Structures are given as C-alpha cells and as structure tokens.
Amino acid sequence: MLKRDPDRLFSYEQVNLVDIERGHYVLWTNPEGAYVWVSAWPVGVPCPMQLPLRPHLTLRNGASWSLEQAEPLSLHPSVNMVNIWHGWVKNGLATEA
C-alpha cells in the first residue's frame, strides 16, 4: 500500500528534483490548491513515476491521468512506462497489466 507524503506546491523545477521513496507518493498542487501532478514509486515498479493530472497538465505526447481518489491513491487510466512497467494504480496498490 502506498503511503502518502505531505502535499507540495508544484513547480517544474521542484518536481524534477523530487526524491521519492519506494512505497510513497506525493501530490503536487497549484496555487489554488488543485492537484496537478503525482510523484509515486509503488512497490513492484522498478522506478518512480511522474504523472500529470487532468485537466491541468499533460505530457508532451498529450498523456495525462485522472485522480480518482487521493487516499489511497487511485489513477485512471493505466500507467504505461514503455519497456519498463505497465499496470494500474488503484486503492494504493500497483497491479501489473
């Protein structure tokens, strides 16, 4: 089960420097308090993931995820880190596809 660390105010500089521990996640907020990004390292996943949250941010390829619930963490759709890991993050657990 993923453990939630304190929320942080989002900035591209800070999110790229985050040192997330395996089994933990951080939700990043914009100045208005909306969740815009998640940094997570689920147990069973080989490396941390950095994911933009809809409708606020997207990756260059247009990918983004919906935060279904903040605690325990649930995201939609599945996460596909090409050639690394593909699966779902639901109820604080990562399940491989």
Contacting residues for 44 by C-beta, under 8 A, at least 6 apart = 94, 96
- For residue 16, give the DSSP letter: H
pLDDT digits (tens, 9 = 90+) for 5-60: 999 999 988 888 778 999 999 999 999 999 999 999 999 999 999 999 999 999 88
pTM higher than the cut 0.85 = yes
pLDDT digits (tens, 9 = 90+) for 2-14: 999 999 999 988 8
pLDDT digits (tens, 9 = 90+) for 56-83: 999 888 999 999 999 999 999 999 999 9
